[in-house]
Amino acid sequence: MLSVVIPTRNDERALVSTLAALVPAAAEGVVRNVIVADGGSTDATLEVADLAGCDAVCRSGPRCDGLNAAARGSKGPWLMFLEAGVVLEEGWHREVSALVDVIERAGETDRRAAVFRFGFDGFGSSARNAELLAGLWGLLTGLPRPEQGLIIHKSFYDKLGGFRPLPAMTGADLIRRIGSGRIIRLRARAISPAASSRSWREGPRGALGAGLLMLRVPPRFVARLYN
Protein backbone atom coordinates (compact mmCIF):
# COMPACT_ATOMS: atom_id res chain seq x y z
CA MET A 1 0.00 0.00 0.00
CA LEU A 2 2.47 2.66 1.21
CA SER A 3 5.94 3.56 0.04
CA VAL A 4 7.59 5.68 2.72
CA VAL A 5 10.07 8.36 1.63
CA ILE A 6 12.43 9.80 4.26
CA PRO A 7 14.80 12.64 3.31
CA THR A 8 18.07 12.49 5.24
CA ARG A 9 21.41 14.17 5.70
CA ASN A 10 23.55 13.01 8.61
CA ASP A 11 20.52 11.60 10.43
CA GLU A 12 21.82 8.24 11.63
CA ARG A 13 20.26 8.45 15.10
CA ALA A 14 17.06 10.16 14.05
CA LEU A 15 16.49 7.59 11.31
CA VAL A 16 16.58 4.68 13.76
CA SER A 17 13.64 6.07 15.74
CA THR A 18 11.59 6.80 12.65
CA LEU A 19 12.15 3.36 11.14
CA ALA A 20 11.30 1.57 14.40
CA ALA A 21 7.80 3.06 14.33
CA LEU A 22 7.26 1.67 10.82
CA VAL A 23 8.00 -1.97 11.72
CA PRO A 24 4.44 -2.98 12.80
CA ALA A 25 3.00 -1.46 9.61
CA ALA A 26 5.53 -3.32 7.47
CA ALA A 27 4.72 -6.58 9.27
CA GLU A 28 1.02 -6.13 8.47
CA GLY A 29 1.67 -5.25 4.83
CA VAL A 30 0.66 -1.60 5.08
CA VAL A 31 4.20 -0.39 4.31
CA ARG A 32 5.54 -1.92 1.08
CA ASN A 33 8.97 -0.33 1.11
CA VAL A 34 10.95 2.51 2.64
CA ILE A 35 13.16 4.75 0.53
CA VAL A 36 15.80 6.99 2.08
CA ALA A 37 16.44 10.07 -0.05
CA ASP A 38 19.90 11.06 1.12
CA GLY A 39 21.42 14.43 0.43
CA GLY A 40 25.07 13.59 1.05
CA SER A 41 25.41 12.10 4.53
CA THR A 42 28.92 11.63 5.90
CA ASP A 43 27.83 9.68 8.99
CA ALA A 44 26.28 6.19 9.17
CA THR A 45 22.86 7.17 7.82
CA LEU A 46 23.13 4.98 4.74
CA GLU A 47 24.46 2.06 6.77
CA VAL A 48 21.43 2.31 9.08
CA ALA A 49 19.13 2.38 6.06
CA ASP A 50 20.83 -0.66 4.54
CA LEU A 51 20.66 -2.69 7.77
CA ALA A 52 16.94 -1.89 8.04
CA GLY A 53 16.30 -3.11 4.50
CA CYS A 54 15.53 0.32 3.06
CA ASP A 55 16.14 1.36 -0.51
CA ALA A 56 18.33 4.43 -0.91
CA VAL A 57 18.52 7.26 -3.40
CA CYS A 58 21.54 9.56 -3.14
CA ARG A 59 21.45 13.05 -4.62
CA SER A 60 23.84 15.88 -3.79
CA GLY A 61 21.74 18.52 -5.55
CA PRO A 62 18.50 20.18 -4.46
CA ARG A 63 16.34 18.37 -1.91
CA CYS A 64 13.55 17.98 -4.47
CA ASP A 65 15.77 15.84 -6.72
CA GLY A 66 16.14 13.13 -4.10
CA LEU A 67 12.47 13.23 -3.09
CA ASN A 68 11.23 12.98 -6.67
CA ALA A 69 13.70 10.19 -7.49
CA ALA A 70 12.56 8.27 -4.41
CA ALA A 71 8.92 8.69 -5.43
CA ARG A 72 9.73 7.22 -8.83
CA GLY A 73 11.20 4.18 -7.08
CA SER A 74 8.11 3.53 -4.96
CA LYS A 75 6.51 0.08 -4.99
CA GLY A 76 3.18 1.05 -3.48
CA PRO A 77 0.46 3.21 -5.06
CA TRP A 78 0.50 5.56 -2.06
CA LEU A 79 3.44 7.73 -0.97
CA MET A 80 4.13 8.80 2.61
CA PHE A 81 6.76 11.50 3.10
CA LEU A 82 8.18 11.60 6.60
CA GLU A 83 10.98 13.64 8.20
CA ALA A 84 13.84 11.78 9.88
CA GLY A 85 13.40 11.85 13.65
CA VAL A 86 9.60 11.91 13.54
CA VAL A 87 7.98 8.95 15.30
CA LEU A 88 4.44 7.96 14.34
CA GLU A 89 2.07 7.14 17.17
CA GLU A 90 1.31 3.48 17.88
CA GLY A 91 -1.52 2.17 15.71
CA TRP A 92 -1.15 4.88 13.06
CA HIS A 93 -1.18 2.37 10.23
CA ARG A 94 -4.67 1.11 11.04
CA GLU A 95 -6.13 4.60 10.75
CA VAL A 96 -4.24 5.25 7.52
CA SER A 97 -5.32 1.91 6.05
CA ALA A 98 -8.97 2.68 6.81
CA LEU A 99 -8.71 6.16 5.33
CA VAL A 100 -7.03 4.92 2.16
CA ASP A 101 -9.84 2.39 1.72
CA VAL A 102 -12.46 5.13 2.01
CA ILE A 103 -10.65 7.40 -0.46
CA GLU A 104 -10.22 4.61 -2.99
CA ARG A 105 -13.87 3.52 -2.76
CA ALA A 106 -14.95 7.14 -3.24
CA GLY A 107 -12.75 7.46 -6.33
CA GLU A 108 -10.91 10.46 -4.88
CA THR A 109 -7.31 9.28 -5.06
CA ASP A 110 -6.44 12.16 -7.39
CA ARG A 111 -7.79 14.90 -5.13
CA ARG A 112 -7.20 13.87 -1.52
CA ALA A 113 -4.14 13.79 0.73
CA ALA A 114 -3.62 13.40 4.48
CA VAL A 115 -1.32 14.55 7.28
CA PHE A 116 -0.83 13.45 10.87
CA ARG A 117 -1.59 15.50 13.96
CA PHE A 118 1.48 17.30 15.28
CA GLY A 119 3.05 16.31 18.59
CA PHE A 120 6.27 17.04 20.50
CA ASP A 121 8.09 14.38 22.49
CA GLY A 122 8.55 15.57 26.03
CA PHE A 123 6.82 16.79 29.14
CA GLY A 124 6.19 20.20 30.57
CA SER A 125 5.15 23.54 29.22
CA SER A 126 7.78 23.80 26.47
CA ALA A 127 6.47 20.74 24.61
CA ARG A 128 2.84 21.78 25.03
CA ASN A 129 3.60 25.33 23.94
CA ALA A 130 5.27 23.99 20.80
CA GLU A 131 2.14 21.98 20.00
CA LEU A 132 -0.02 25.07 20.53
CA LEU A 133 2.29 27.04 18.25
CA ALA A 134 1.92 24.36 15.58
CA GLY A 135 -1.85 24.63 15.87
CA LEU A 136 -1.66 28.39 15.53
CA TRP A 137 0.60 27.98 12.49
CA GLY A 138 -2.07 25.83 10.85
CA LEU A 139 -4.84 28.33 11.59
CA LEU A 140 -2.85 31.29 10.27
CA THR A 141 -1.34 29.71 7.16
CA GLY A 142 -3.60 26.77 6.35
CA LEU A 143 -0.44 24.67 6.06
CA PRO A 144 0.57 21.64 8.11
CA ARG A 145 4.13 21.48 9.41
CA PRO A 146 6.69 19.30 7.57
CA GLU A 147 6.88 17.14 10.71
CA GLN A 148 3.24 16.12 10.19
CA GLY A 149 4.18 14.02 7.17
CA LEU A 150 2.22 13.76 3.95
CA ILE A 151 0.25 10.84 2.51
CA ILE A 152 -0.68 11.18 -1.15
CA HIS A 153 -1.51 8.81 -4.00
CA LYS A 154 1.27 8.55 -6.55
CA SER A 155 -1.04 9.55 -9.42
CA PHE A 156 -2.03 12.74 -7.59
CA TYR A 157 1.61 13.46 -6.78
CA ASP A 158 2.57 13.03 -10.43
CA LYS A 159 -0.37 15.15 -11.55
CA LEU A 160 0.89 17.99 -9.35
CA GLY A 161 4.42 17.65 -10.70
CA GLY A 162 6.01 16.49 -7.45
CA PHE A 163 8.41 18.73 -5.55
CA ARG A 164 9.66 21.81 -7.33
CA PRO A 165 13.34 22.91 -7.43
CA LEU A 166 13.17 25.62 -4.77
CA PRO A 167 15.95 26.56 -2.32
CA ALA A 168 13.49 26.31 0.58
CA MET A 169 9.87 25.51 1.49
CA THR A 170 9.51 22.75 -1.10
CA GLY A 171 7.04 20.94 1.15
CA ALA A 172 4.95 24.05 1.77
CA ASP A 173 4.83 24.68 -1.97
CA LEU A 174 3.51 21.16 -2.64
CA ILE A 175 0.89 21.52 0.11
CA ARG A 176 -0.25 24.80 -1.41
CA ARG A 177 -0.74 23.11 -4.78
CA ILE A 178 -2.70 20.28 -3.17
CA GLY A 179 -4.96 22.81 -1.44
CA SER A 180 -5.69 22.85 2.29
CA GLY A 181 -9.33 21.91 1.65
CA ARG A 182 -8.23 18.61 0.12
CA ILE A 183 -6.05 17.59 3.06
CA ILE A 184 -7.47 15.27 5.72
CA ARG A 185 -6.12 15.62 9.26
CA LEU A 186 -5.60 12.23 10.91
CA ARG A 187 -6.09 11.60 14.63
CA ALA A 188 -2.76 9.78 15.01
CA ARG A 189 0.16 12.01 15.95
CA ALA A 190 3.53 12.43 14.31
CA ILE A 191 5.81 13.07 17.27
CA SER A 192 8.91 15.21 16.81
CA PRO A 193 11.90 14.96 19.16
CA ALA A 194 11.93 17.68 21.80
CA ALA A 195 15.40 18.83 20.78
CA SER A 196 14.53 19.06 17.10
CA SER A 197 15.00 22.47 15.56
CA ARG A 198 15.20 21.62 11.88
CA SER A 199 11.77 22.92 10.91
CA TRP A 200 11.35 25.49 13.66
CA ARG A 201 14.60 27.41 13.26
CA GLU A 202 13.12 29.77 10.66
CA GLY A 203 10.59 31.19 13.13
CA PRO A 204 8.68 34.22 11.81
CA ARG A 205 10.43 34.01 8.44
CA GLY A 206 9.02 30.51 7.90
CA ALA A 207 5.51 31.64 8.85
CA LEU A 208 5.79 34.63 6.53
CA GLY A 209 6.95 32.43 3.66
CA ALA A 210 4.10 29.98 4.18
CA GLY A 211 1.58 32.80 4.30
CA LEU A 212 2.90 34.26 1.05
CA LEU A 213 2.60 30.89 -0.65
CA MET A 214 -1.02 30.59 0.46
CA LEU A 215 -1.62 34.05 -1.07
CA ARG A 216 -0.26 32.59 -4.33
CA VAL A 217 2.90 34.67 -4.40
CA PRO A 218 5.20 32.90 -6.91
CA PRO A 219 7.51 30.42 -5.09
CA ARG A 220 10.65 31.91 -6.67
CA PHE A 221 9.94 35.21 -4.89
CA VAL A 222 9.16 33.52 -1.58
CA ALA A 223 12.44 31.61 -1.81
CA ARG A 224 14.33 34.92 -1.76
CA LEU A 225 13.48 35.15 1.94
CA TYR A 226 16.05 32.39 2.46
CA ASN A 227 18.83 33.94 0.40
Indicate the domain borders of the chain. 2-226
pLDDT number for residue 50? 98
pLDDT number for residue 59? 93
Angle at 171 between CA 19 and CA 216, to 5 degrees: 165
| φ, ψ (nearest 5 deg) of residue 63 | -55, -35
DSSP 182: G
Indicate the CATH number of 2-226 among 1.10.3720.10, 3.90.550.10, 3.40.50.300, 3.40.50.970: 3.90.550.10
pLDDT number for residue 193? 85
pLDDT number for residue 136? 72
The secondary structure element, H or E, covering residue 173 is: helix 170-178
DSSP 102: H
Cβ-contact 93, 23 below 8 angstroms? no
pLDDT of the chain, 227 residues: tens digit per residue? 999 999 999 999 999 999 999 999 999 999 999 999 999 999 999 999 999 999 999 998 899 999 999 999 999 999 999 999 999 999 999 999 999 999 999 999 999 999 999 888 866 666 666 667 766 766 666 678 888 999 999 999 999 999 999 877 888 899 989 998 999 999 999 999 865 534 444 455 555 665 566 556 666 666 666 55
Residues 6+ apart with CB under 8 A from 148: 115, 116, 117, 118, 190
Cβ-contact 189, 87 below 8 angstroms? no
Residues 6+ apart with CB under 8 A from 185: 114, 115, 117, 144
pTM for the model stands at 0.85
Cβ-contact 165, 119 below 8 angstroms? no
